[in-house]
Chains A and B, each alone.
Chain A
Amino acid sequence: MLRIKNLSKSFNIGTENEVSIFNGFNLDIEEHKCTAILGPNGCGKSTLLNMIGGSILNDGGEILLNGEDISKLKEDKRAIHIGRVYQDPSMGVSPALTILENMSLADKKGEKFRLRKLIKKNNIDRYVQLLKSLDLGLEYKLNTKVRFLSGGQRQSLSLIMAAMKLPDLLLLDEHTAALDPKTSHVIMKKTKDLIDKYQITTIMISHNMRDAVEYSDRIVMLDKGKVVFDKPSKETSEEELIEIYKAKLIQDIA
Chain B
Amino acid sequence: MNLFVTSLEQGLIFAILAMGVFITFRILNVADLSAEGTFPFGAFIFAKFITMGLDPILSTILAFLFGTLAGLMTSTLFIKLKIQPILAGILTMTTLYSVNLRINGKSNVPLFSFDSIFNLGQTLVILILAVIAIKLLMDYFLNTEKGYLLIATGDNETLVKSLGASSNKLKVMGFMLANGLVALSGALMAQYQGFAEITMGSGISVIALASIIIGDTFKKNSSFIKNTSRAIFGAVVYKIMGGIAIDLGLAPSDLKAISAIIVIVFIAYNNLAAGFLGFKKRKEGGDTLVKNKEPLKEF
Contact = CB atoms under 8 A, between A and B. Distances in A.
Interface stretch (B54-62, B71-79, B90-98, B150-158): B150-158
A117 B143 contact: yes
Given A79-B161, A95-B156, A105 B141 contact: no
Contact of B163 (A90, A91, A97, A109): A109
Contacts of B155: 94-97
Q: Which 9 A-B pairs have the closest CB atoms?
A: A80-B164, A113-B145, A94-B152, A96-B155, A110-B164, A94-B155, A76-B161, A118-B145, A109-B163
Contact of A93 (B141, B145, B149, B159): B159
Interface in B151-188: 151-152, 154-156, 158-167
Contacts of B158: 86, 91-92
15 contacts: A79-B164, A83-B162, A90-B156, A92-B158, A94-B151, A95-B155, A109-B164, A113-B146, A114-B144, A114-B145, A115-B141, A115-B146, A116-B144, A118-B145, A118-B148
Contacts of B144: 114-118
A104 interface: yes
Contacts of B154: 96
Chain A interface helix/strand/loop/mixed: loop
A118 B150 CA distance: 12
Contact of B152 (A84, A91, A97): A97
B141 A79 contact: no
A226 B162 CA distance: 28
Given A114-B146, A117-B144, A96 B162 contact: no
A174 interface: no
B203 interface: no
Interface string B126-154: 00000000000000010111111101101
B159 A108 contact: no
B166 A76 contact: yes
Nearest to A76: B161
A177 interface: no
Contacts of A77: 164
Interface residues of B, number: 23
B230 to A, nearest CB: 15
Given A97-B151, A113-B146, A118-B143, A79 B156 contact: no
Contacts of B141: 115
A75 B161 contact: yes
A86 B158 CA distance: 10
A96 B147 CA distance: 13
A106 interface: yes
A105 B162 contact: no
A69 interface: no
Contacts of B143: 117-119
A84 B151 contact: no
A76 B161 CA distance: 5
A83 B146 CA distance: 21
Which among A75, A94, A109 has the greatest number of chain B C-beta atoms within 10 A?
A94
A149 B148 CA distance: 20
Nearest to B152: A94
A92 B144 CA distance: 21
Contacts of A119: 143
A162 interface: yes
Nearest to A53: B162
A30 interface: no
A90 B160 CA distance: 13
A224 to B, nearest CB: 28
Nearest to B166: A76
A94 B145 contact: no
Contacts of B160: 76
B156 A76 contact: no
B156 A118 contact: no
Contacts of B146: 113-115
Given A113-B146, A117-B144, A105 B163 contact: yes
B148 A97 contact: yes
Query: Which of B147, B148, B151 is most buried by chain A, counting CB atoms within 10 A of its CB?
Result: B148
A101 interface: yes
Pick from A90, A116, A118 the residue with the most CB of B within 10 Å: A118
A105 B166 contact: no
Given A94-B151, A114-B144, A108 B163 contact: yes
Nearest to A83: B162
A226 to B, nearest CB: 29
A162 B162 contact: yes
Interface in A92-143: 92-97, 101, 104-106, 108-111, 113-119
